[in-house]
Amino acid sequence: MLYGYPPFCAKSRHTTRLKIIDWQSHLRFPPLPYVSCEVCEKENRLGSGSSKSTIRPNELYLANRKSVAIGLGDASDIKSHPWFKGIDWDNIYKMTPPFIPRLKDEIDTRYFDENIDDNPLAPPEGERKPRDPMLRDKRHGKDILNMRKALAFVGYTYKGLPTEQQRGGMAERVAGRSNSIGGSLRIRSMSL
């Protein structure tokens, strides 16, 4: 993200996954902008521990789970990182920021990218599968989904208050005002 884009960006999740698996072919660091060694130093990088293996991704995963990752404790971990040396954290709120946007009004968007694609990303290749393994079951998945839908609101009741016409034309006084909308809704939970 230091370079302004994710390294394995693709139009579908499947293609992104393939790029991650074949990271040796796709992971490239451009020469510009210059990124300091403190950020790239694998022993002290923010958000993850040092990597022990780049050949076997599972070993890397297990090694990082066992180690204490830098920056995952609290703000003091991040503030003490070498990349942030020289920052006066106690007085930073008093400093003038390096860039102050000059807005015409609250809806001024001139600092946003203009080339944002209005079309959503393409759906992943293949048929979408439910995340829940029970719903993926070919034999019982549809029945389980229908049962969950049918039982979603069991124990809840819906009762609309009577409208002004049903009350015989008398407006209900609520908090000093008449209820001109024609009633309100009430949802109540029953403990089972």
Model pLDDT, residue 31: 77
Answer yes or no: is 162 within a domain: yes
Entry pTM: 0.33
Residue range 79-105, pLDDT digits in tens: 888 878 889 999 999 999 989 999 999
Answer yes or no: is 106 within a domain: no
Task: Establish whether the linkage from the previous residue to 33 is cis, with ω within 30° of 0.
Answer: yes
Answer yes or no: is 150 within a domain: yes
Model pLDDT, residue 93: 93
Mean pLDDT, consecutive 10-residue stretches, the chain (192 aa), reads 74 87 82 73 57 44 48 73 87 92 90 75 68 85 89 76 58 46 49 46
Answer yes or no: is 127 within a domain: no
Answer yes or no: is 175 within a domain: yes
Range of the domain at 141: 134-189
Q: For residue 63, give every residue at least 6 positions away whose Cβ sits within 8 Å of its Cβ, in sequence order, or none.
A: 49, 51, 52, 53
- What percent of the chain is modeled with pLDDT above 90? 9
161 burial (CB, 10 Å; 0-12 / 13-18 / 19+) is middle
Instruction: For the beta carbon of residue 119, count every other beta carbon within 10 angstroms.
Output: 5
Answer yes or no: is 49 within a domain: no
Answer yes or no: is 142 within a domain: yes
Answer yes or no: is 81 within a domain: no
The total number of structural domains in the chain stands at: 1
Instruction: For the beta carbon of residue 48, count every other beta carbon within 10 angstroms.
Output: 14
Largest CA distance in the chain: 79
